[in-house]
A and B are shown apart, each in its own frame.
Chain A
Amino acid sequence: MQLKELFINSVRQGPVPQHIAFVMDGNRRFARKNHIETAEGHNMGFEALAKILEVCYKSGVKVVTVYAFSIENFKRPLHEVNALMEIAKIKLMQLCQHGDLLERYGASLRVLGQRDLIRQDVLEVIDEAVAMTKDNDRTILNVCFPYTSRHEIASSIRDVVLSDDSSSSDKTAIPGLSDFESITQETLTDHLFTAGCPPLDLLIRTSGVRRLSDFMLWQCHQDTEIVFIDCLWPQFDIWKFLPILIDWGVKRRKMEKLGLVEVKREGEKEDAELNSHRQRELDERRRARTATF
């Protein structure tokens, strides 16, 4: 048995973050440093992502959210944007293919962000990929493409403001326009793109930049542990990732001992169904809402 497997299986026995987010920063710098094309740098970044995803899912992480493309990135040179779109197209299809990563770990793909900015041909591929994996219900991969957190929060507010629930007689309906006094933080959380995902436990940004850059602001500003690591994303591998996971586990264990958090263990039970009814309901509501626009 490989050492890697032993470590992963052991980490799984302790506390494991349920939801991890990555800012995959440093692909361009890596390319420049090693004198390769920028597109090749992004390609290697994707390879690194595939490896990290495998570690995550094997060790019991339920949801992984990655920052693939910011709305701000559209300001980059056109040829690079186009290259990125092409890579996204190819890699998304590869990820979802029969027997590949997502199917192996029962991960359903979700693409979060401002859809109307995506090119039509890429959009088709995305829809296909999402449809292919929609029945996988053990884990989730959120790809933020093209995303900014401010856009997400603003559209959540807009969704709530526009939600017309006066017609529904259902008393358990979520607060909206007609009884706006009962709007709470949870109402806004439920209208975010990440609705239904467990709270974000860990956010990792590579390349030593100590900023959130408009990513997961609402999700990460409370108890999330934020880690800025000084290595470029293509160099970020299991041996850099495991210490972070273990560090998180040690801290969480301390908190469990102090009774600050609930004790949850992944290793002892089989993969529980993640897509609860609540999640399905949220999905349907979201779909109904986007259809009205």
Chain B
Amino acid sequence: MASAGSVSSSAAQFSAEPFKAVLRSRKKTPEALERERLVLSHLPPDEVAQGPVRRFLWTQVYKFVLLVIHTLFSIYLRLRWVYNTVYSHAISVLYYHHRTPQLIEKDVRDLKERGKFPKHLSVVLELQRDGLDKLIDELAEIACWCACAGIPRLSVYEKTGILKSYIATSHRAMAQQLRLYFGRSRPTLRVHAPHSRPFANGDVSTDDEDQHVDLEVMFISEEDGRESLVDLTKTLCDMAQRGKLSSDDVSIELVDAEIKETIMDEPDLLVLFSSSITLKGYPPWQLRLTEIYNVQDNQGVGYQVFLRALHRFARTEMRFGR
């Protein structure tokens, strides 16, 4: 077995022989090919020096493919929008509340018995241009649904904070809407905003903050998010400078207690009425374990979104029709 390549020492020749035999056979076994394929796919691509022309051409190809993808995807989005809109309309027809508390109560009774039910619901509303009236109308509707469903706390996030300067107006609008739903004996209502006194307009005595009301509504805005944490930092700096605070004092518990005290606690469920999920500056600290819900391709406030969110929260299947 005197091969042409064996000029090395006998010891080396002995160990190298099997490998050379394989090489000499020149035919790769299927397993070897498979191994090679597996390895190659994980190795960086060969650094082929692409000329500028070639690279330019490839870039144009990719750009074209992207255009095709985007076009097809847009068509798909349109179709999905049509499907979702029809579906949502069907649900809102089947589940129309007719401003009847008993119907809404019936819609959620099952959820309360079989699944989780939120104690604190939060919604994000958007102020359209000059749409204060619309905003307050939506707010009043949602407040009524909560009162009917038996959710005791509702917080309303609106980025600009315009609602905070219309607390009395909002209270009046909500009270009016509640009368439409419940008649004369409407649920009691109290409206809060961070850093201001709660407003109940005679529903309950304002002196006693702990007195029970049927529905508590809170208005929050973008400044109650990051800015409140910045303010807290400033306060803590001030305290530290005056020697009233040591390093160990700044903890999650301290921050949490302060935020809870000045702004609000964590909501159980956050309902967005937008088509995709962006939080638009919603207070970050409170979002830790909040379930976030929206309806794909939905535009605008609707009872069906509210109901579907509650179903999702309770992890129960929603039947088609009452």
Counting CB contacts under 8 A, is B241 at the interface? yes
Shortest distance between the CB of A55 and any CB in chain B (Å): 14
Task: State the majority secondary structure of interface residues on A.
Answer: helix
Q: Mark B197-233, 1 if CB is under 8 A from A, else 0.
A: 0000000000000000000000000000111011011
| Partner pick for A177 among B58, B65, B241, B285, CB 8 A cutoff | B241
B278 touching A225, Cβ below 8 Å: yes
B288 touching A221, Cβ below 8 Å: no
B250 touching A188, Cβ below 8 Å: no
Shortest distance between the CB of A256 and any CB in chain B (Å): 12
A222 and B254 alpha carbons, distance in the complex (Å): 24
Shortest distance between the CB of A58 and any CB in chain B (Å): 10
* Given A150-B252, A221-B282, A228-B277, A183 contacting B230 (CB threshold 8 A): yes
A12 and B227 alpha carbons, distance in the complex (Å): 36
* Given A154-B251, A157-B233, A226-B277, A217 contacting B284 (CB threshold 8 A): yes
Counting CB contacts under 8 A, is B166 at the interface? no
Contacts of B251 in A (CB 8 A): 154
Shortest distance between the CB of A208 and any CB in chain B (Å): 10
A210 touching B59, Cβ below 8 Å: no
Within 8 A of A (CB), among B61-98: 62-63, 65-66, 69-70, 73-74, 77
For A177, A185, A222, which residue has the most chain B Cβ atoms within 10 angstroms? A222
A268 and B66 alpha carbons, distance in the complex (Å): 14
B280 touching A222, Cβ below 8 Å: yes
Contacts of B116 in A (CB 8 A): none
Task: State the majority secondary structure of interface residues on B.
Answer: helix
Contacts of A34 in B (CB 8 A): none
A213 touching B289, Cβ below 8 Å: yes
A250 touching B74, Cβ below 8 Å: yes
Counting CB contacts under 8 A, is B44 at the interface? yes
Please list the residues of chain B having a beta carbon within 8 angstroms of any beta carbon in chain A. Answer: 43-44, 58-59, 62-63, 65-66, 69-70, 73-74, 77, 225-227, 229-230, 232-234, 236-238, 240-241, 245, 247, 250-252, 254-256, 276-285, 287-293, 312
- 6 other contacts beyond A158-B247, A185-B227, A249-B70, with CB at 8 A cut-off? A153-B255, A160-B237, A161-B233, A161-B247, A221-B281, A247-B77
21 A-B pairs with CB atoms under 8 Å apart are A13-B63, A153-B255, A153-B285, A161-B247, A162-B240, A177-B240, A180-B241, A183-B230, A183-B234, A183-B237, A188-B233, A210-B292, A210-B293, A214-B288, A217-B284, A221-B282, A221-B284, A224-B279, A226-B277, A226-B278, A267-B59
